[in-house]
Structure 1
Amino acid sequence: MNPLAELRYFFTALGYFTRVPVPRWVGFKPEWLNSAARYFPLVGALLGALAALVYLAALHVFPPGVAVLLSMAATLLATGAFHEDGLADCLDAFGGGYAREDVLRIMHDSRIGAFGAIGLVVALALKWQVLASLPPMRAAMLMIAGHAASRACAISYLVSLDYVRAEGKAKPVAQRMSFAALLCAFAFGLPWLFWPAWPDWRAGIATLTVLVALRYALGRYFVKRIGGYTGDCLGFAQQVFELAIYLVGLAWISF
């Protein structure tokens, strides 16, 4: 393993998924993106840490609901709403298209429709309300777990599904991921699930079980509708996984 190359892959992942400036020496080649995919969950953990810091700092001045909204705004600004755009595009496409060609055409359209707009509002509102309902430290830790583990689960589709577009922004990422790279991604993303409720490891197991079931269901749905996945599908999946982590976290302490 070349440490310099691995550092370059990390910065490539950071530059791809966020608007954070990366050092000029890193450069960029599209073929690096597939190797950089193993670091996507680590970038997610950093984004979750940003959200947690903004949230905890804002709590000194504002009530929890406002603090959560400020933390969400921080991550949306940092990522350029990268995954939320995929969520909206997929909801429009799967909700408004019937044939595979119609779904892919609508998904490629940059305009947002009723399904996408409504779904995006509901998803953001659910995140806001769930996180605002949690005890502060539990909410902060779940932000990190949610951003990291959701990205680990989303990129797992690079191992099992086919990319269905001839071209696309996600095409360089969408080469088949090796099992070793996937294990590396899981190591960066999944252990965070056991942190918020430590030492009650059962909460982490429950969350992981829900994520596995969701991954299977979403994968089957993608294959059924379009024969595989697109970059928008990965963004859609990440948002679903992140929201599921928050909901399970709230349900665990509620019941």
Structure 2
Amino acid sequence: MTSGWPRAAATALQFLTRLPVPGGASADPARFEADLPRALALFPLTGALIGTLTAATLWLASQLWPLPLAVLLALALEARLTGALHEDAVADLCDGFGGGRTPEDVLRIMKDSRIGAFGLLGLAFAIALRAAGLIALPDAATAAVALVVSGWLGRLLMLAAMLAIPPMPGRPGLGGSVASHATPRALALALLLSLPAPLLGLWWDALAMLLALLGSALFLAWFRRLVLRHLGGSTGDCFGFAGYAGLVLTTLAFTAHR
């Protein structure tokens, strides 16, 4: 039986991916609660791992096909790897915020399994921006680095959103349960454990890395106000949306000054 950090790593992988990882705590509520503080600190590192697997797919595919096709294949594999966790959150949040007038309306729409016009357009534009940004990069190597760094920053932004936006009052759920374990210490530890990912970004393209960090900070300030205005507090979909926003913003940062 695993314990401590190995079990926390398995829990983080089980939470963020659909990989058949043994030894986590997702099936045991008591263990899940106990492992969450450490698992949250591993979210950015897990994101960098997801980005690395996606980047490897892109690079291998680029040896056989043009970059645009390699990008689409890599993003398709990533969606399968994560169970489209973030894409689902983007669609739900766009539908809820676009069609709901009160917090109750927003929640009702977000819980509806059907996708509406706002959700469809929001998800389509989010995926298109990310894919187009990767295709616009000069080569597969730069696109691969962007995928690793964006995987890291997207999950770091999730953790930052958990700290910055209080859970929606009176609405207990998985998102609120997870967010309650997010602490400044967990964020600092997450940065330390995943330091190679941002260092890779700085080494490859320092300006792009700084733009990505600045864009993420500005996004978080705006997103916090948006969520509080529409819902009065965050839900799990809010954190998933923040994660995908980090993926898009990092990709656009690497493309910005080309």
**TM-score normalised by structure 1 residue count:** 0.91
Report the residue type matching 2:16 in the other structure: F
SS of alignment partner, residue 177 of structure 2: coil
Corresponding residue for 1:49?
Answer: 52
Kept in 2, the 8 Å contact 1:90–1:233? The answer is yes
Instruction: Determine if contact 2:90/2:240 at 8 Å carries over to the other structure.
Output: yes
Deviation string 1:136-172 (CA, Å, 9 cap, x unpaired) is 1111000000011111012112223221162323243
Partner residue, 2:242: 237
Structure 1 stretches lacking a partner, 5+ long: none
Q: Percent identity?
A: 36
Alpha-carbon offset, residue 52 of structure 1: 0.5
Q: Distance in 1 between matches of 2:102 and 2:176?
A: 22
CA RMSD of aligned residues (A): 2.0
Query: Paired residue for 2:32?
Result: 30
Comparing 210-219 and 28-37, the one that deviates more = 28-37
2:129 aligns to what SS in structure 1?
Answer: helix
Instruction: Determine which of 120, 129, 137 is the counterpart of 2:141.
Output: 137
1:52-71: CA deviation from partner (whole Å, max 9, x where unpaired): 10000001111101100111
**Partner residue of 1:157 out of 155, 158, 161:** 161
TM-score by structure 2 length? 0.90
**Aligned partners of 1:115 and 1:101: how far apart in 2?**
18
The 8 Å contact of residues 92 and 106 in structure 1, kept in 2 or not, is answered as: yes
Label 1:200 to 1:90 Cα distance change in 2 as closer, same or farther (>3 A).
closer
**Equivalents in 1 of 2:121, 2:24: separation in Å?**
42
CA contact 1:19–1:78 (8 Å) conserved in 2? yes
Cα deviations by residue, 1:196-232 (Å, 9 ceiling, x for unpaired) = 4526533322221111111111111111211121100
The residue that corresponds to 1:250 in the other structure is: 255
Residue 199 and residue 120 in structure 1: after superposition, are their counterparts in 2 closer, same or farther (change >3 A)? closer
Q: Gaps spanning 5+ residues in structure 2: where?
A: none
Give the alignment of 1:6-25 within 5 angstroms.
6-24=5-23
The one-letter code matched in structure 1 to 2:114 is R
After TM superposition, list the pairs within 5 Å mapping 1:7-156 onto structure 2: 7-24=6-23, 28=28, 29-31=31-33, 32-134=35-137, 135-156=139-160
Q: Give distance in 1, aligned partners of 2:195 and 2:102.
A: 36
Q: How far apart are 1:237 and its partner, in Å? A: 1.1
Corresponding residue of 1:210: 215
Q: Which amino acid aligns with 1:162?
A: P
1:163 counterpart SS class: coil
